Amino acid sequence: MQVNQVNPTPYVFSRLSPARVSAVYDTYWRFAAERQKIFFSRMTKTNAPWSNDEIMQTHKFTNAYRAADRTSQYLIRNVIYRDGLPTSSTETFFRTILFKIFNKIETWELFEEKLGTVTYEDFSFEHYDKILTEAKDKGERIYSAAYIMPPGGKSFGQVAKHQNHLLLLKMMIDDHVPDRLAQMPSMQAGFECLRSYPTIGDFLAYQFITDLNYSNLTEFNEMDFVIPGPGARDGIRKCFLDSGGLSEPEIIRLMVDRQEEEFERLGLKFQSLWGRRLQLIDCQNLFCEVDKYARIAHPDIVGISGRTRIKQKFVPKSEHVKYFFPPKWGVNAHIYQPTSTTQKDHTGQPSTSCRPSMGSR
């Protein structure tokens, strides 16, 4: 069944009533299943194409699971859990937020090239500013295009955006945010703490607290809280003709709760992340991705922004990701098992799994 199969008329689910869904609602689930199939196909190093879907072959989409994306994987393995790095709350916070402010692997590797081990103990505003200024003067891009970081000049008074962000990071550490987060009872409390600082709005605060929660600094329940970003709001608008009075966070939670039922209804074999269900952050991200996908698959269904094109083309990376997830999730032991082993699908039943052996790493 193709991911971009179009249901000719919107379907109203009685259990969602009075919410009404469009054809994009079914596409959401087909997209999630197909994108996860691509993830496992690429992981086992099968040859391209990894999908028969022309839209997915042509355009770039993130994984169904946020933590499986290349940048998140780099953060988890090389920034948070890299062997030999100090593990205090301050150092973990510093490394994580420093990486996420720029959200660009090349910028982090630039720091390592110039500094060796990146630690707050050796932090110098002047030194970091010099590294970033020299890179900019060479025409290098130091920020990712994934999302926009506000410049922060009004709050910190510096001309260069990166200077304001370095001062923001220092301000949070001076305010003992790492230790405060470690004592907070919920993800929402952590979100609100980060949200209170200059230049950090709802979207960034939610992204940052999610990334910090990959570490051992916090033990928040990911199902405690969700904040939809602009792209997710567009996706929700396209999937739901009428929300039936549900808020956007409630709709995202609805998707999490219904995932097994919907995959089964559509006859989709969704291969989970070794038994880990899609979480709130994942379903939030999927709304953002299906918003982009629907611009081509469902051009007649418009969202809030009115965008009609997908900007980024898919270009395969030559290097192979060595997958590693937060150890507290309990999935790492299953990643590089022999191909003869099995894993549970969305129904909880064993299914044949094509996984790389240790030798394929």
Query: If we measure between CA atoms, which residue out of 278, 277, 282, 283 comes closest to residue 344?
Result: 277
Helical residues (DSSP H) of 245-346, grouped into ranges: 248-265, 280-297, 332-335
pLDDT at 94: 98
C-beta of residue 285 within 8 angstroms of C-beta of residue 252: no
pLDDT at 349: 45
342-344 and 20-21 strand pairing? unpaired
Please list, in sequence order, all residues whose beta carbon lies within 8 angstroms of the beta carbon of residue 335, skipping any fewer than 6 positions away.
Answer: 274, 323, 324, 325, 355
Give the separation between CA 59 and CA 286, rounded to whole angstroms: 15
pLDDT at 47: 72
Query: If we measure between CA atoms, which residue out of 108, 322, 95, 111 comes closest to residue 214?
Result: 95
pLDDT at 11: 45
pLDDT at 42: 84
pLDDT at 131: 98
pLDDT at 318: 59
pLDDT at 260: 97
Backbone CA torsion sign across 49, 55, 58, 60: negative
pLDDT averaged per 10 residues in sequence order, the chain, 361 residues = 46 60 97 95 76 86 96 97 93 98 97 96 97 98 90 95 98 98 97 97 96 97 94 96 93 96 96 96 97 94 78 67 94 75 46 33 24
pLDDT at 258: 95
DSSP 192-256: HHHHTSTT--HHHHHHHHHHHTTSSS----GGG-----HHHHHHHHHHEEE-TT--HHHHHHHHH
Q: What number of other Cβ atoms are within 10 A of residue 258's Cβ? A: 16
pLDDT at 19: 85
